Amino acid sequence: MAESDGKAAHAVRTVLTGLCWAIFGCGGLLLSLTVLPAARHLAPSEREGILKARRVLSASFRLYFRVLRAFGIADIDASALRPLRTQKGAVIAANHPTLLDYVVVTSALPEACCLVKADLLRNFFLRRVIREADYLANSEDPEALLEECGKRLASGECLLIFPEGTRTKPGQQMRLKRGAAQIALRAGAPIAAVRIKCTETWLVKGAPWYSLPSRKPRITASPAGTIRTNETKNLDASLHAEASRITSDLARLLGLGNEP
């Protein structure tokens, strides 16, 4: 474990962290106004254009991690997720300890579609990124959302979902929502669990960006197991009950150990 910062080093790291967030926000905005639209419009098909835009984003995230490492802000490693790139039509379900979790997972899974909060469509820096990457936003119409998720999975896309619904709060046990299980059950899609770990308390729910740990955090993401819904589905059980059971299995895979 790295040694704690001194006061001066901590102050420098705070300034560099602010610079990194500025790079992230402005970089995303710049990409969404230039490279991402170009990648989509120059592609031979709409589908290939979307995938190219997502690959560009993924590459930019990996570059961003190099900046974080060079500045001494954080070490991030999602290389263990690379085998999941061969997955087709799967729900990728991950726990959510930090603000960077989406970035961590998609850095290793460039073609994944992400289910994002509708509020992000009003974010000045991110809304164009979401549109160019053709991500799905939470809809006020659950049935319409389930139908669209099913179409994406049937086409072979992998759908990244954070079943906790929000970031984990330190000291509080989170309860997984059943949405990921319901989506997978309706589509007959497998659920690939991804476990994200952060060595320090950093970028958690309710904490400002400048609240830094005394030690440099390390974030890792790795596969935690797969739930085959088309094999485990009990045809005599209601969708609600089956989703509840699968959500319990998912919680155990993610190390949350809670009941939905």
DSSP string covering 34-62, please? THHHHHHHTSSSHHHHHHHHHHHHHHHHH
Task: Indicate if the pLDDT at residue 199 is higher than 60.
Answer: yes
Structure tokens at 183: 């989506």
Q: What percent of the chain has pLDDT over 90?
A: 73
Structure tokens at 13: 């790291």
d(CA 134, CA 143) in angstroms, rounded, equals 19
CA 82 to chain centre: 15
Question: What is the tens place of the pLDDT at every residue in 165-183?
Answer: 888 777 677 788 999 999 9
Q: What is the pTM of this model?
A: 0.91
**Mean pLDDT throughout 116-137?**
92
Task: Indicate if the pLDDT at residue 234 is higher than 90.
Answer: no
Q: Helices 46-70 and 7-33 sit at what angle, rounded to 10 degrees?
A: 160
Task: Indicate if the pLDDT at residue 82 is higher than 70.
Answer: yes
With cut-offs at 50, 70 and 90, classify the pLDDT of residue 8: confident
Are the C-beta atoms of residues 257 and 251 closer than 8 Å to each other?
A: yes
d(CA 52, CA 188) in angstroms, rounded, equals 27
- For residue 138, is it within any domain? yes
Question: What is the tens place of the pLDDT at every residue in 83-108?
Answer: 999 999 999 999 999 999 999 999 99
Question: What is the tens place of the pLDDT at every residue in 11-69?
Answer: 899 999 999 999 999 999 999 999 999 999 999 999 999 999 999 999 999 999 999 99
Per-residue pLDDT at 259: 47
Range of the domain at 174: 7-253
**Mean pLDDT throughout 205-225?**
93
With cut-offs at 50, 70 and 90, classify the pLDDT of residue 257: low
Residue with tokens 């299995």: 249
**Mean pLDDT throughout 154-170?**
90
**Mean pLDDT throughout 154-165?**
94
- For residue 186, is it within any domain? yes
| E strand intervals along the chain | 75-77, 91-94, 113-116, 136-137, 159-161, 191-198, 218-227
Task: Indicate if the pLDDT at residue 260 is higher than 50.
Answer: no
CATH number at 167 reads 3.40.1130
HSE toward the beta carbon, residue 69, CA cutoff 13 A = 11
Amino acid identity at 256: L
Least confident of 53-57, 120-124, 199-203: 120-124
Cα-Cα-Cα-Cα torsion 27, 31, 35, 41, nearest 10 degrees, comes to 170
Q: What percent of the chain has pLDDT over 70?
A: 93
- For residue 111, is it within any domain? yes
**Mean pLDDT throughout 118-125?**
90
Q: CB-based contacts of 98: which residues, under 8 Å, 6+ apart? A: 104, 167, 196, 198, 202, 203, 204, 219
With cut-offs at 50, 70 and 90, classify the pLDDT of residue 232: low
- For residue 25, is it within any domain? yes
- For residue 260, is it within any domain? no
Task: Indicate if the pLDDT at residue 153 is higher than 70.
Answer: yes
Amino acid identity at 40: R
- For residue 30, is it within any domain? yes
Return the sign of the alpha-carbon dihedral for residues 112, 249, 177, 74: negative
Number of domains, the chain: 1
- For residue 187, is it within any domain? yes
Structure tokens at 40: 């989509």
Q: Which residues sit opposite 92 in a β-bridge?
A: 160, 192
**Mean pLDDT throughout 190-208?**
94
- In Å, what is the CA distance from 112 to each residue of 27, 82, 131, 163, 238? 20, 12, 14, 16, 29
Per-residue pLDDT at 238: 79
- For residue 2, is it within any domain? no
